[in-house]
Structure 1
Amino acid sequence: MKLPIFIADAFTTKAFRGNPAAVCLLENKLDEDLHQKIAKEMNLSETAFIRKLHPNDNFTQSSCFGLRWFTPQSEVLLCGHATLASAAVLFHKIKNVNSTLTFVTMSGELKARKEEDGIVLDLPLYPAHPQKLHEVEDLIKTAIGDTLVQDVRYSPDTKKLLVRLSDTYNRSFLESLTVNTENLLQVETTGKVKGLILTLKGEPGGQTQAFDFYSRYFAPWYGVAEDPVTGSAHTVLSSYWSEQLGKKDLHGRTVLFQFKKKLLNFKLVFLFIYAIHLKM
């Protein structure tokens, strides 16, 4: 069996930057256990598997496909950058003729729209509800020690814990903050939390572009210590910061990697590194 696998860098215009994802095109049904084995072999934060939904479908002409995402450790419900990478592979490597693609996933239908300077990806918004600090205090303290926390929210849809750091901190503090992810698996064993978002209110732009918020994301429960840029975290961040700031058009920045977004839309750029074939 020969499976085409592409690796694409999302959120960047330069090689070896952004967030890489592997994209595997499935002409036929794949044995269930092979999804995880391939993802483990690729050893990236996410490997996406695009499958045909009907026997007569093809990757060049069809506009709707099934999509699943796997970390090296397990399957996940949603991954933004691997969805973007999937659309980029179909649009620009396979030369799909459609301007909009629909992906059928465990998180519902996701649409990716081709634009002149990139791809716009529509993702769902998930609310984050106030979380009692004492219930997650050990987790937070294990992760960031005595760092001051201003707000704690929980998203039951995504199982992500959003921790807003004190407004007294700035972007440099968040970038240099050492986060202990090694012990989180021992502290949180209930399955309630599967991802930790650290976020900070943005600063005035001055001579540089202003951002509404900054963030970092950690998911050791899925085998990903830190994900450099993740769309799934922003389905929660967008909802939270839109409410906090009273804005519908937001600019966010993750550590080292930059992107612009509108509520419910991600405009992203991508760069292909190389393509390989996996023989089995």
Structure 2
Amino acid sequence: MEIPVYTLDAFTNLPFKGNPAAVCPLQHELNEELYQKISSEMNLSETAFIIKLNPSDDFTTGSRFRLRWFTPTTEVNLCGHATLATARVLFQYENNINSKLVFETRSGELCVTRYGDNCIMDFPLNPASPADPQEFRGVIKAAVGNLPVQEVYLSSKTKKLLIRLADSCEKSALRNLKVDPIALQRSESTGKVKGVIVTMIGSPHEQPEYDFYSRYFAPWFGIPEDPVTGSAHTVLGSYWAEKLGKQKLLAYQCSSRGGELELEVRDDGRINISGTTVTIMRGKIII
């Protein structure tokens, strides 16, 4: 059996930046073990599998597909950068004729619209609520050490803990943060937290004028640090839209690879996340 595979860097227009995702268009479902084995072999934060819903479907003319995402260790409910990469594969390499695609996923139907070289993803918004820093003091210590913390929020639905650094912090404090993934994972074993977002407000004196910065760590899913994370911005978008009083936001995830996301928080409880991709590899998996 041969399976086409593409590797794209998402949320960037530069190779070897952004967040790499593998994308595999499938003619039919695989067995569960094989999904995980392929994803472990690819060893990226996510591998996406596009599956035809009906045998008569065509990747060029079809507008609706099933989409699944796997980390090297498990299947996940939502992944932004691999969804972006999947849409770009369909538009760019399968020459899909539709301007909008619909993916059936574990997070419901997700729509992606082509907009030039960019894609706009229609995602659920995942608001977070204020959390007691004392309850999560071990996680906070493992994530940011002795850096001053302004607020802590928890998205119970996504199990993402948002730690906002004090506004007195320089961007370099976030960019230079060293997080031990083993210590972070050991700091939380109740199951309440499966990912940690560290964020801070943007600087009006820098260009581009980003509204906020972030980094994201998810060792509980086998991801020590995710370079650019669409799903984390379903939490971040809600938080910063309220704090800054604006619905359109420009975000930068300042991992070592780095990536830019355009956000629009909508009144219907959803969020538009926009970005572009760069293709790094095309090939076949031979089994």
TM-score, normalised to structure 2's length? 0.94
1:276 aligns with 2:280: no
8 Å Cα contact 1:170-1:203 kept in structure 2:
no
8 Å Cα contact 1:59-1:94 kept in structure 2:
yes
Pick one of 251, 261, 264 that aligns with 1:262. Answer: 264
Runs of 4+ residues over 4 Å off in structure 1: none
CA distance in 2, matches of 1:145, 1:205: 27
8 Å Cα contact 2:194-2:220 kept in structure 1:
yes
CA distance in 2, matches of 1:202, 1:14: 22
Residue 211 of structure 1 is matched in structure 2 by 210
1:153 aligns with 2:153: yes
User: 1:268 is aligned with what amino acid?
Assistant: G
Q: CA deviation at 1:202?
A: 1.1
1:170 aligns with 2:170: yes
Q: Which runs of 5+ in 1 are unaligned?
A: none
Q: Which runs of 5+ in 2 are unaligned?
A: 266-270
1:124 aligns with 2:124: yes
- Provide the aligned C-alpha RMSD in A: 1.1
Percent identical residues: 51
Q: CA deviation at 1:181?
A: 2.0
CA distance in 2, matches of 1:239, 1:223: 26
User: 2:260 is aligned with what amino acid?
Assistant: Q
Classify the secondary structure of the residue corresponding to 1:111: strand
Aligned pairs for 1:108-123 (under 5 A) are 108-123=108-123
Residue 90 of structure 2 is matched in structure 1 by 90
Aligned pairs for 1:27-106 (under 5 A) are 27-106=27-106
Q: CA deviation at 1:251?
A: 1.2
Q: CA deviation at 1:232?
A: 0.3
8 Å Cα contact 2:248-2:262 kept in structure 1:
no
User: 2:274 is aligned with what amino acid?
Assistant: K
Q: CA deviation at 1:246?
A: 1.1
CA distance in 2, matches of 1:271, 1:110: 22
CA distance in 1, matches of 2:170, 2:111: 35
Residue 251 of structure 2 is matched in structure 1 by 252
Residue 187 of structure 1 is matched in structure 2 by 187
